Structure 1
């Protein structure tokens, strides 16, 4: 203290001693923080029971109208980038009325050969044809959204890369995608269109009834063109299948995807001119096809405006090889070999939606966890649960509507009633009869509303959709996609609402004049040459199996039920035990599967069986009246606690009040009670499993989630693998009848004999049980998708800022990367001018305390103990400034250096966020990590739970990275740090995909064999 005036000593030293004592107490206290940070054990899942967050003001206006919503492109006459386009109204999108898909959805003729579905000349038939064309070709303007995905969607997928014509002959093999007949491979570099390999027209490119191509026919120009020569040259090279390009665009070569010229590229604006120059420089001029190589980063450049926008129709996901008339070569189908209603059973989410990522991308692994033929319908408007479900077949819609008319109607609110309906004779009826659409029964405003919502969910009116949530990433509250807003601001919505949805309803329900059945009729194995002898050989067994079905399965899997049939679910004494003879079978079933075998023995169930058996009768020689016109599902929501399958899809929250699909779920749905405790297998608890492979439970939230509607058993022979996620049974990727029966045999055996699930030697990708290279999954009680390689959460440089601003908002990003550090620099300069040296000591003391606190709370000191040198060094500097270097000049120098450091930090942070420091690459996440451990993190989790989960994740990654661990060692290190904290933050901690549906365990082996033969006939 030499050199200080004595008059300062008494006043300064006490403050220094108090500060030192406080500093030491704080540091000592921080040693106790690990106990406070250990938030609990694996039995506690607080985040799984939370209601999703609500956006403030979501219901401020009638029917959730968004008064700030933009108009869609057709209504505003402007793209989102500011390019002028032609204004259009809902009457300027006429549906294609010619039967251009004559052989699609063929029916078996008397000799088993395919025959076109026949239409008469009635207005209803014409509308049905329009509906078929709508289903296959209409995107409702969603090319705007998918163009945003290509350019701004975080470098995950690019449909123009997916459309690479050089790979046309392997599209089905790689991705389960269906080539449009009449187009051909174009692999000649000299014939590229703007550097792109696009399928070229073959001899039969023109759809039936569209005539020959007429080059002189004028094409409606939808926007002012900037470079007419380029525009006309591109148009002349695109394949033309005869549809109106102003409405349907041009064929891409993949069914369900259509090409539209991008106004933001071809338009007459300065920005469009710059876009053309940039594309020329990045894609065309290099002449190296780097655009198709994700590692070259060209296709991951958010400044790269594409020349084509790609629209998506319902057919993209729903068209697939016809079960009755499969193509000899799936890469080269004819129209007669395709069904538009069977669902994309071989469609691969990973290679389709992460085609710019490799297998070492964690996002790729996330999509790969969704089995072929499934998709997470909340993939874009995420509910933070990885909850893939089957791309459902559209079967026997007339029978389904008939069941809806007898089920209890559901209460609708004013927003619901803005959607037309076809189930009740009068519009505005409330309560409304409705099928339970989607696997969790959430779409509950009628078929009309369900079809309308599908278009929104594949990108229609994206100008508004993107404002309602943080697209793809989530971690921000949603607000409803309001029907009132759509009606006011979207031409595309009104065109679909007024014309296209009625056409679709006609398509699915129109009866063939010659057969009396709709295009959604069952596809029977007995209608095939290969299947007839099998059905005949097992006829006697199947008849016995029919009795087993009526007695044990029909309560859930028949749309034909005794008069007065109704199901409720309860526990304890409220479960039905008796039912008067002949009384309407309004039953209260057990809520939990453990009580199901006992319920089957009750008099109440016995009386139900007597009634359903009387209704079913015996099959006649010329057909089974009970099965014909039977949807083979009761359209009633069943608690997941009774079904016992993976609960992820049932836990989806997007249809809850105030969430994205609020307007498309009934009030009845929004008031459903909690199903209570959901039992599941926790791979981290170490507890023994029960009879059903479970060892843990969590409590489901109320007000919607927790239920599944039974799947239809129609054409069960053709739709394996099974369960709502296609996770049970062998996947063959073979659409032949032989391939389907192989999958059926394996899948149905595992349904009927659950013990075969564990003993099977067949493992789906991601099921690492018994993998010779790694043992992490050997204790799993079922199929848990685990990462197949070490992977990284990886984003290209140009997407770092959008990623961060999407989650925390632009204001906070700006503050953390610039404002905070500039403000600190100003403060430090002020202290340099007017402060004292002791103030610099307080700064370092504060740094020491904060650093120590972060180390203790985060646990990072357990990974890198040397990090304690930081708070120790800060403490030493503080003490030096207080006691050894008190001169004011020292303080000034320190504050100037701190100011410079703050400004440099701002520079570094800005460069990072702006992508100037390279890509964002977080990892490795070790091989064997359950994907859902990370993907199901609930943003509504409490701050302590979420922070502990994030810190645990970071510690796990650092431990693996620090010691270069691989295989079992890497997973064990990661698990020890991250597993329990992430489980506590999970919105759905249920990871086993192939468990549940144990209802056959009460059957004898003979009954199971008989039932299997019967199911083959459906």
Structure 2
């Protein structure tokens, strides 16, 4: 049996193995204020190029926001980088993603200016208040022909001159860095600035959507573009289907976006803020499609984003990649969609709230590169490396357990003893700086220089070839070879300072209501006392006080960052008490201990807990520490034993600070009503039915989804409804995610007879009917299945030696049937569904809103009480 023959079947195996599952304020003068009240920033380093000045100052709204929030210079620089820096990923999103992963992004579909008012409702992305629709009053661009059909944004008067030309100097070159940290080993007491040029942060200009940035494409050919699109105001030809030209059926599923001979006018990149920038719960916009800058915050996390659909926007619904990845709920994305680990990985955008009080963990064994001033004692560059032409800027690779987290609190640097645990299972566990840097890899920075050749190629099934499985990329090599890495790394402390700044402070419901009342001209003050009175009126007399006792007795064990041994009994605790030692008196309790909890204890959708990218030998190995990977096996996970290693099987509990503003709940937003945008353009309506009966068939009558509503009372209503589901598990219904279109895969060679494709040897088109489990497609270990089929026929002893002796007879039977009649391989797999599911599925959990049954035994009065109390936190 030939491995190459099985390799040809790999993709179809991946897609069809589970076919049988198919079921029956005024801010004038602020810029001057910040200039007077913050330390002077250092001038741009002499090696930086000077960008051209546009008619509008791109940074003015950002400086005004820094003044509103009271940010110092380091925090303000960190904010600017968070909102704007792509780390050079515009090439990734324009070329590498499409060519290496095979997924097409239709940026015009997402960003077209004539649908600006529908953009939030369709994609959940937030319109940039500084940008405008060409032709609107006071918009510098009078026609979309000037902007190639996108919004006009500050800086575009410069950028547009360089579309199709060389010579554009990126606005990041003009960044004025914050003062040097005298404790940084590279600054020699704050005397020498050795930071890499800010140019490689790569800002570009806004596309009209916050966090999504554009750059002029010097390879753009205007004459080709006009011929293809009939002008410059539209991308209609560029994102059209090929069948209009060829008439061939399979071409109806292929976009012109795949044609590498046509260069678009812009390269599009994304910043970290593309997912994290959100509406301020304290000051939401009157119209979400037309926000103002004072309605925007950078750390809350966008609970409406459709990032998975956005990144697959150029793919047909019949494509494998679309059906595998573009099924997450709003505010949820598969952080391993690109660096795929064959585990269904839904995860909400992290809400970075009250970061200054987030727990750190002491004494964990961490292997990583650390800053030093000299490498003279170590000549091996794999252990110690100094950046050329920057004397004293060195890094040493070592294993230690004494790391600290440096946080700027009110202008004073404090070294917290220990490190944070980031991501849903705490996988990013080598330090806050490293966790921030890794986010840039996740959005495409340094892909070609560092990591793109280390992740899995889903279509490569030969274990002897590159791309069969993940391998860890080398952070030291990445630092040497990727200038964007160094540009970001040299400013990580600024970003961390921003994380701990006032912009991440709690956003309390009573403050939000007070602001809403003030905006309406209501008389009288509204504070915590008034909020408690209103909650007691709604949920029952004394509900808040009773809820505090219920929380202390039933919830604080996990959802308090201050253990009883340190803060006294929970029953007498004021969970909203401020930290009097903090300059801003932020809430002392993070309301989550960040401890690892076995997924079998919490009982929620477990697939994300089996995430493997930080395991030894995997892509992000250098971003997980040894203590994490040594966590004991969660023995009662129902998955195969191969999944019970590397510290997997855990979730860290989340903070409940301002939980009133961040519903629905759980790491996949599955507990609570389904939310949706209901856009005017129905082609961009990605809501799907998810409620199913006990037979796993979707209910004929689905509850209506709740339209996005970032208003104060809209958030509060969604919170109450989500809490009701959380505390009443038997009333939640059953939510599952199925494919919502037929999945079509073209197999083998298909010569044309005229315009009709005639497949050779019976291999034509595989059709997987809609209704297949989307999670099963993500979790099928098809590479292992193919490899084991090969060994079962060619070298069964080798397979038996791996502990799979019991599998050999069935694998041989499957292989024999496929070889005998290749055209029936789908039916063969259907016949062996249970075998494949039991042995080649990373996670087979179907229902997504199970678990977290804590509190279901409370009385109805106590459930209302704890709902009322949590709304005060």
TM-score range, shorter chain: 0.5 to 0.7
**Cα distance, 1:715–1:93 mapped onto 2, change above 3 Å:** farther
Find out whether 1:336 has 2:270 as its counterpart.
no
Contact 2:817/2:828 (CA < 8 Å) preserved in 1? no
For residue 231 of structure 1, give the secondary structure of its aligned residue in structure 2.
Answer: coil
Contact 2:344/2:778 (CA < 8 Å) preserved in 1? yes
Match of 2:237 in 1: 290
For residue 792 of structure 1, give the secondary structure of its aligned residue in structure 2.
Answer: strand
Deviation at 1:451, TM superposition (A): 0.4
Q: In 2, distance between residues paired with 1:229 and 1:493?
A: 26
Match of 1:756 in 2: 731
Find out whether 1:505 has 2:496 as its counterpart.
yes
Deviation at 1:994, TM superposition (A): 0.8
Contact 2:743/2:768 (CA < 8 Å) preserved in 1? yes
Q: In 2, distance between residues paired with 1:195 and 1:424?
A: 43
Match of 2:470 in 1: 478
For residue 333 of structure 1, give the secondary structure of its aligned residue in structure 2.
Answer: coil
What does 1:578-597 correspond to in 2, within 5 Å?
A: none
Match of 1:455 in 2: 440
Match of 2:629 in 1: 670
Deviation at 1:460, TM superposition (A): 1.1
- Select 1:412's aligned residue among 361, 366, 372: 366
Find out whether 1:117 has 2:69 as its counterpart.
yes
Contact 1:102/1:117 (CA < 8 Å) preserved in 2? no
For residue 260 of structure 1, give the secondary structure of its aligned residue in structure 2.
Answer: strand
For residue 198 of structure 1, give the secondary structure of its aligned residue in structure 2.
Answer: coil
What does 1:651-730 correspond to in 2, within 5 Å?
A: 651-679=610-638, 700-730=643-673
What does 1:373-412 correspond to in 2, within 5 Å?
A: 373-400=331-358, 403-404=359-360, 407-412=361-366
The structure with more helix, counted as a fraction of residues? 1
- Unpaired runs of 5+ residues, structure 1, are 1-40, 43-87, 106-114, 120-124, 207-212, 222-226, 267-274, 511-517, 566-609, 681-696, 759-781, 795-799, 801-816, 818-904, 963-969
**Cα distance, 1:707–1:953 mapped onto 2, change above 3 Å:** farther
Contact 1:127/1:503 (CA < 8 Å) preserved in 2? yes
Match of 1:154 in 2: 102
Contact 1:468/1:660 (CA < 8 Å) preserved in 2? yes
Deviation at 1:195, TM superposition (A): 8.9
Contact 2:599/2:650 (CA < 8 Å) preserved in 1? yes
Match of 2:483 in 1: 491
Contact 2:308/2:333 (CA < 8 Å) preserved in 1? no
CA deviation map 1:382-423 (0-9, x unaligned): 1111211000111111100xx21xx44310125587599652
The two structures have a TM-score, normalised by structure 1, of 0.58
Match of 2:602 in 1: 643
- Select 1:936's aligned residue among 767, 774, 779: 779
Contact 1:155/1:356 (CA < 8 Å) preserved in 2? yes
Match of 2:453 in 1: 467
Larger Cα Rg: Structure 1 or Structure 2?
Answer: 1
Q: In 2, distance between residues paired with 1:89 and 1:472?
A: 44
CA deviation map 1:181-202 (0-9, x unaligned): 122224899945599312124x
**Cα distance, 1:563–1:1009 mapped onto 2, change above 3 Å:** same
**Cα distance, 1:699–1:535 mapped onto 2, change above 3 Å:** farther
Match of 1:557 in 2: 559
- Unpaired runs of 5+ residues, structure 2, are 1-16, 19-43, 52-56, 176-197, 245-254, 371-395, 408-414, 462-467, 518-525, 537-541, 676-705, 791-809
Deviation at 1:158, TM superposition (A): 2.9
Deviation at 1:928, TM superposition (A): 1.7
What does 1:128-207 correspond to in 2, within 5 Å?
A: 128-149=75-96, 151-152=98-99, 153-186=101-134, 191-192=143-144, 196-201=148-153, 205=154
CA deviation map 1:220-252 (0-9, x unaligned): x9xxxxx989539x989x999998998411221
CA deviation map 1:483-519 (0-9, x unaligned): 11122112111111112x1111111224xxxxxxx22
Contact 1:423/1:433 (CA < 8 Å) preserved in 2? yes
Contact 1:256/1:315 (CA < 8 Å) preserved in 2? yes
Q: In 2, distance between residues paired with 1:487 and 1:494?
A: 6
Q: In 1, distance between residues paired with 2:341 and 2:505?
A: 34
Contact 1:384/1:987 (CA < 8 Å) preserved in 2? yes
Q: In 2, distance between residues paired with 1:159 and 1:496?
A: 26
Q: In 2, distance between residues paired with 1:494 and 1:313?
A: 16
Deviation at 1:657, TM superposition (A): 0.5
Q: In 2, distance between residues paired with 1:989 and 1:341?
A: 33
The two structures have a TM-score, normalised by structure 2, of 0.67
**Cα distance, 1:619–1:306 mapped onto 2, change above 3 Å:** closer
**Cα distance, 1:955–1:261 mapped onto 2, change above 3 Å:** farther
- Select 1:736's aligned residue among 703, 707, 711: 711
**Cα distance, 1:543–1:627 mapped onto 2, change above 3 Å:** farther
**Cα distance, 1:982–1:925 mapped onto 2, change above 3 Å:** farther
Match of 1:231 in 2: 165
CA deviation map 1:657-711 (0-9, x unaligned): 011111111011122221012259xxxxxxxxxxxxxxxx977412221110001
Deviation at 1:790, TM superposition (A): 2.5
For residue 554 of structure 1, give the secondary structure of its aligned residue in structure 2.
Answer: coil
Q: In 2, distance between residues paired with 1:921 and 1:285?
A: 38
Q: In 1, distance between residues paired with 2:506 and 2:459?
A: 39
Q: In 1, distance between residues paired with 2:275 and 2:294?
A: 18
Q: In 1, distance between residues paired with 2:459 and 2:500?
A: 38
**Cα distance, 1:617–1:191 mapped onto 2, change above 3 Å:** closer
Match of 2:722 in 1: 747
Match of 1:438 in 2: 423
Find out whether 1:254 has 2:209 as its counterpart.
yes
CA deviation map 1:449-476 (0-9, x unaligned): 1101101111111112212124676762
CA deviation map 1:760-808 (0-9, x unaligned): xxxxxxxxxxxxxxxxxxxxxx3120122333347xxxxx9xxxxxxxx
**Cα distance, 1:150–1:1001 mapped onto 2, change above 3 Å:** closer
Contact 2:404/2:417 (CA < 8 Å) preserved in 1? no
Deviation at 1:137, TM superposition (A): 0.3
Contact 2:172/2:204 (CA < 8 Å) preserved in 1? no
Deviation at 1:262, TM superposition (A): 2.6
**Cα distance, 1:168–1:436 mapped onto 2, change above 3 Å:** same
Find out whether 1:324 has 2:279 as its counterpart.
no
Match of 1:423 in 2: 405
Contact 2:664/2:718 (CA < 8 Å) preserved in 1? yes
Contact 2:606/2:845 (CA < 8 Å) preserved in 1? yes
**Cα distance, 1:190–1:738 mapped onto 2, change above 3 Å:** closer
Deviation at 1:981, TM superposition (A): 2.4
> Over aligned residue pairs, what C-alpha RMSD do you find?
4.8
**Cα distance, 1:627–1:747 mapped onto 2, change above 3 Å:** farther
Q: In 1, distance between residues paired with 2:85 and 2:545?
A: 44
**Cα distance, 1:92–1:989 mapped onto 2, change above 3 Å:** farther
Q: In 2, distance between residues paired with 1:288 and 1:352?
A: 17
For residue 668 of structure 1, give the secondary structure of its aligned residue in structure 2.
Answer: helix
**Cα distance, 1:955–1:442 mapped onto 2, change above 3 Å:** farther
Deviation at 1:930, TM superposition (A): 0.8
Deviation at 1:534, TM superposition (A): 5.1
**Cα distance, 1:348–1:954 mapped onto 2, change above 3 Å:** farther
- Select 2:534's aligned residue among 529, 534, 537: 537
- Select 2:512's aligned residue among 505, 519, 528: 528
Match of 1:55 in 2: none
Deviation at 1:159, TM superposition (A): 2.6
Match of 2:62 in 1: 101
